[in-house]
Amino acid sequence: MSAPDFSARPQLAEDVARIVRGRIFDGTYSAGTYVRLDQLAAGLGVSVTPVREALFELKAEGLLDQQPRRGFVVCPVTVRDITDVSIVQAHIGGELAARAAANISDTALDELTKIQTELEAAYSADDGERAVRLNHEFHRAINVAADSPKLAQLMSQITRYAPESVFPTIDGWPDKSNGHHRRLLDALAHRDQDRARTAMSEHLAAGAAPLIDHLTRRGVID
């Protein structure tokens, strides 16, 4: 794997954390693997400072542990971890969607519909990277429309533990996700807070089982 181009990206620690997080969830870094600060910095072509910051961030998320004189080691990913994250996502995401239904403007709704159309096209083209970006934009737009920054911040923090990049590769998930998004769009268009809450909660909860199955088959979950 070639080193990413960080030349035009100022938030190095966040970028490094995203890369290491991805390697944990795709099985590149298995549980018990030591992530060496100097080796990772050299491999990514960055200084050790943002790498150190990234590893401490991942430690705070529970993905890494720090052992005295030995460095950072990858923690096991468990079924309970994934399930718990899904439960919290479903609750907070549902509330954000309900608030968005009460607040969303016609312009924001049109933009959200456009994002969904582009997302479906990305899935059809098997463009996983673009699909991940557009899916993130879709959910972020709803969170912005909710006008509840503290809830949105909590959602952003918990979502880091949900490997977004994995979902386009899960058999059947793109079609299922598109269906969920379309039901959510309809609820938002009708300003129906209860339906929006239910649609988003069901959408976020539905991802847990296929994700657990996928990660188990990849050897990420023992």
Q: What is the pLDDT of residue 207?
A: 94
Structural domain range at position 34:
12-74
Residues 98 and 140 in one domain: yes
Q: What is the CA radius of gyration of the chain?
A: 18
Residues 92 and 201 in one domain: yes
Show the tokens assigned to 52: 């150190």
CATH code, domain with 104: 1.20.120.530
pTM, rounded to two decimals: 0.84
Residue 16 has pLDDT above 50, yes or no: yes
Asked whether the beta carbons of 51 and 57 are under 8 A apart, the reply is no
What would the pLDDT profile of 180-204 be if each residue is shown by its tens digit? 999 999 999 999 999 999 999 999 9
CATH code, domain with 46: 1.10.10.10
Residue 8 has pLDDT above 90, yes or no: no
Residue in the structure block whose two tokens are 């598109």: 178
Show the tokens assigned to 198: 């239910």
Answer yes or no: is 7 within a domain.
no
Average pLDDT over every residue of 126-152: 95
Residues 92 and 51 in one domain: no
Answer yes or no: is 222 within a domain.
no
Q: How crowded is the C-beta side of 130, counted as CA atoms within 13 Å?
A: 13
